[in-house]
Structure 1
Amino acid sequence: MNINKEEKTPWICDKCNKELELRQVKVLYLGGNFEVELMQCPQCKMVIIDEKLALGKMKEVEKGLEDK
């Protein structure tokens, strides 16, 4: 059996049972807004926010608000 290492198991929306798609999404967080690529359900628009985003860009927004 030849297994392709590039293949990944798709993310499936628990609510809609649709495969999530990588899309450009506008995010509003603590009064700051920015666009990022996130996995999003094409039907209900639910997104997955990964740890890198939560601890990176969102942390920057929090820091910017604290500095004001």
Structure 2
Amino acid sequence: MAQYVKNEEFAEWRCDKCNCELELKKVVVSYLEGSFPVDLPVCKKCGQVFIPESLAIHKMLEIEQQMEDK
């Protein structure tokens, strides 16, 4: 399982919706026809997943290019 975020990176972040702390949890990310498990920050109360900019922009572009090459 991939981990793109470390606990200390979001330790003081809070959910904007319900102001609760975030915790690192396994989330299944789907893209095109593929799915893969990733550890991401998730709100303890509402379950909202935070996708960091580094994952959304850089890593997803890399994965998209790999999947298109297949």
Specify the TM-score bucket, using the shorter chain as the normaliser.
0.5 to 0.7
Query: Which segment is superposed worse, 13-22 or 27-36?
Result: 27-36
Residues 29 and 9 of structure 1: CA distance in aligned 2, closer, same or farther (over 3 Å): same
Opposite residue 37 of structure 2, the aligned amino acid is: E
What CA RMSD, in Å, does the superposition of the two structures yield over aligned residues?
2.2
Q: Which residue of 2 aligns with 1:33?
A: 35
Segments of structure 1 that go 5 or more residues without pairing to the other structure are: 1-5
Count of residues paired in the alignment: 61
Is 2:11–2:22's contact at 8 Å kept on the other side of the alignment? no
Opposite residue 44 of structure 1, the aligned amino acid is: C
Identity %: 52
Q: Which residue of 2 aligns with 1:23?
A: 25
Larger C-alpha radius of gyration, 1 or 2?
A: 1
Is 1:16–1:43's contact at 8 Å kept on the other side of the alignment? yes
- Tell me which protein shows more helix as a share of its residues: 2
Q: Give the CA deviation at 1:35.
A: 0.9
Segments of structure 2 that go 5 or more residues without pairing to the other structure are: 1-7
Q: After the TM superposition, which parts of structure 1 deviate over 3 Å for at least 4 consecutive aligned residues? A: none
Asked if residue 67 in structure 1 is aligned to residue 69 in structure 2, the reply is: yes
